[in-house]
Amino acid sequence: MKKREILTKEQFIQKYIEYIEGMKFCMEKNNYKKNNVLAKKFNQFIITHEKEEYFEEGMYDLMNVEQENIKVSAACNSLRHEIHIKYAINVLEKIKKMGKGFDSFHAEIALKNYYGEIPNRKL
């Protein structure tokens, strides 16, 4: 059995950013196969750390980085885990209003999912 890696909040944030940036790079290079592998690892990473003390504060910190794709991801995870709900909605609304690129589209879809405007979908 693999031993669970214990991280500090800063290490968690850094690893989270690495996963999101890695998936973005794969998508830009049309490497969907590698993106899917990273997405599965990222989802497992979230499951592994979601009960840790630093998770909630880490999500808040991630919603305040410069990179829009990381903000959107952290806001979606915050809504999924029912933490920082008002702040996460505000972050997604701001990015949606920018109206440019994938991050704006992702924010719009996340909000529609959250408000139940897309049937049979979860965040």
The pLDDT tens digits for 73-107 are 999 999 999 999 999 999 999 999 987 889 999 99
Provide, rounded to the nearest whole percent, the portion of the chain with pLDDT above 70.
93
Q: Range of 56's domain?
A: 9-85
- The reply to whether 110 falls in a domain is no
pLDDT at residue 10 tops 60: yes
- The reply to whether 94 falls in a domain is no
Q: Residues 34, 65: contact at Cβ < 8 Å? A: no
- The reply to whether 95 falls in a domain is no
Q: Residues 75, 88: contact at Cβ < 8 Å? A: yes
Structural domain count of the chain? 1
- The reply to whether 53 falls in a domain is yes
CA–CA separation, 33 and 50 (whole Å) = 26
Q: Would you state the pLDDT for residue 5?
A: 74
Output the six-digit token pair for 85.
């709900």
| pLDDT mean over 58-62 | 98
CA–CA separation, 72 and 16 (whole Å) = 12
- The reply to whether 1 falls in a domain is no
pLDDT at residue 7 tops 50: yes
How far is the CA of 61 from the CAs of 9, 15, 30, 58, in angstroms? 10, 13, 29, 5
